[in-house]
Every structure is written in structure tokens, then in C-alpha cells.
Amino acid sequence: MERSIAMLFFLLSIAMFSVAFSRPAVADETMTWPNGARVAISLSYDDALESQLDNALPALNKHNIKGSFYLTLAHPSVHQRLSEWRAAAEAGHELGNHTIYHGCSRGKPDRDWVAPHLDLDVRSVADLVAEVIMANTVLHAIDGRDDRTFTPPCFDELTSGGNYVDAVAPMFVAVKSRDEGIPEGSIFLVGSVGFTGAELIHRVEEHSKDGVLLNILFHGVGGDHLATSPEAHEELLQFLAANRETYWIDTYLNIMTYVRDNGASN
Ligand SMILES: [Zn+2]
């Protein structure tokens, strides 16, 4: 099952990376970031994967760069390596909510890997709201925090009874994948599978404009599904760490808390 999930996410990511889409304008003036940085960058790591603990987290810590880890709480790593996730939070990384079971729509193309009992197409809003609340409770038990952000699995939002992300959004500082509050020109880069470090850096540079927010999403790093190589990941981190005057790299929680408190009103 893990393998089929990997394959489908691979196809999803290829499709999405090629359209690194621009966000609509939500602010009428250029966003200014802390310490004069031109660009804010959120690095996120979805699905609570072992290779993130093995490879991504040590690399982030080495460079003192903070990321957001969106945990699928039913993933065995949460039970088996709980102390490591807790240590990540204590080191300043965000443990974000990615639900407990990673429910997605089975009705979309190439979604046979979605287990029927987790199919959003047949689940209710109330079911998903209960799951997301419980996920927040477990995350609080791990890191003691009340504020966090949410990434909807597969970016799917519709259940059999309507949009569940609308219902859970008020529980979070921000929902990754949604537009509210993020600066004009911001982009979302999904899937870095097979990219070299130079290609990742090029992606960052070509989208770096004053006041924008770049979201870069990873899954596996040197293992698991949709893997980015540790070398490419390391090269990107080295580049970002060497250019902190240009790039403010922080957790999505910290960035979106800043946007909430300092965003231009429109
Ligand atoms: Zn996911």
C-alpha cells in the first residue's frame, strides 16, 4: 500500500510542480519581512516519514533552519519515534496538522490507493472535523502548543456533505494551500522529486520577488515516497543559510503569524 501511495503522489507531484502557480493578490502593498529579508520561505515536510527524521531534520538543525512537519498521526513513525518528533518541536520546528488518517478523495483519477473507509467522497464534514480536532489534541500532547497550521491531505477539501476545510480552518493560524492573507506573487512549489540542488535553487531564485512567500513542499528526503535526494536538499539548505539577508526561512506557523499581525490590509 505504501508503494502505491508513493506512485500516486509521484504522479500528483509531477503534475503540480510544472504549474508552480501564482497566488492572487490579497494585499495592496508589498509585504515587508523581518530584518529586511526580501522573501519568506516555508519548507514543509508532509506525512511523518522516517526519512524526514533520519535525513531532513538533522540537516535543518545543522543549518539552524526551522521547518514545518505536517504529521499524519496514524503513521507508525509517530508512535515508534515520538521522542524524536517531540525533540524536533523543542528545537523550534513546527509539528503541523495533516489529519490522523490522511483521507483523500478516491473518486479522482489514479486514486485507487485511497482506502475505501478513508475516502472523503463518502465521509462527512462532522467526521473530518472530529478527526482534525483529535489530531490537534495529539499534537498538543506531543509539543504542548496550541497554535499551529494545517495542510489538507492531497489538498482535497470536499466530503460527501460539503467542504470540511472551511469547517476546520478557524482552528488554525493558517491552512497551507489556501490564499487568505498571503502576499501577492507568492507561489507554491510541490514535488522536488529528482531535482538537483542547483535546480531547486534555480526555482527559488526565479520566483524571488520583494515581499513574496515561497512554499516548498517535500515528502521523503533520501527515502520513502516522492523522495528528494539528501544532496539536493542539503545544497538548498546551504544556499538558504548563506543568504539569510535575502531569505527569511521559518516555520509556516511563524510566517503566517507574522502575516496575520503585520499584513497589509486591503
Ligand atoms: Zn500528505
- Ligand 1 centroid vs 239 CA: distance in angstroms? 26
Cα dist from 254 to 43, 66, 68, whole Å: 12, 10, 10
Say if residue 3 is exposed, middle or buried (CB neighbours under 10 Å; 0-12, 13-18, 19+). exposed
Q: Which three cell numbers stand for residue 125?
A: 464534514
Residue 56 gets which letter from DSSP?
Answer: I
Residue 175, pLDDT score: 96
Task: State the distance from the centre of ligand 1 to the C-alpha of 232, rounded, in angstroms.
Answer: 21
Averaged over successive runs of 10 residues, the pLDDT of the chain (266 residues) comes to 40 38 53 94 97 98 98 98 98 98 97 96 98 98 98 97 97 90 80 86 93 94 94 97 98 96 68
Around ion ligand 1, which residues have CB less than 5 A away? 46-47, 153
**How far, in Å, from the CA of 231 to the mean position of ligand 1?**
23
**CA 104 to centroid of ligand 1, rounded, Å:** 9
Count other Cβ atoms within 10 Å, centred on residue 62: 12
- Check: CB of residue 151 under 8 Å from CB of residue 70: yes
> Hey, which residues does 228 pair with through a beta bridge?
221
> Which pLDDT belongs to residue 186?
84
Task: Give start and end residues of each alpha helix (H) in the chain.
Answer: 2-17, 50-51, 57-62, 76-80, 82-90, 125-143, 164-168, 197-206, 230-242, 252-262
Q: What's the confidence (pLDDT) of residue 161? A: 96
Question: For residue 194, what pLDDT is reported?
Answer: 83
Ligand 1 centroid to residue 98 C-alpha, Å:
7
User: What is the distance in A from the centroid of ligand 1 to the CA of 8?
Assistant: 11
- The whole-angstrom distance between residue 230's C-alpha and the CA centroid of its chain comes to 18
Q: Please, are residues 163 and 110 in contact by the beta-carbon 8 Å criterion? A: no
Predicted pLDDT of residue 245:
97
What's the CA-to-centroid distance between 217 and ligand 1, angstroms?
A: 10
List all residues 6 or more positions away from 69 whose beta carbon is below 8 Å from its beta carbon.
Answer: 44, 45, 48, 52, 57, 85, 88, 93, 94, 95, 96
For the chain, domains (ranges, CATH) are 2-262 (3.20.20.370)
Distance 49 CA to ligand 1 centre (A): 10
* Residue pair 54/31 in contact by the 8 Å Cβ criterion: no
Centroid of ligand 1 to alpha carbon of 174 (angstroms): 17
What's at 30, amino acid-wise? T
What is the model's pLDDT at position 185?
78
Distance from the alpha carbon of residue 44 to the mean position of ligand 1, in angstroms: 11
Which pTM value belongs to this model? Answer: 0.89
- Residue 244 C-alpha to ligand 1 middle, in angstroms? 29
Q: How many A from CA of 154 to the centre of ligand 1?
A: 6
The three cell numbers of residue 55 are 535525513
Torsion angle of C-alpha atoms 34, 39, 45, 51, degrees rounded to 10: -100
- Are 51 and 227 in contact by the 8 Å Cβ rule? The answer is yes
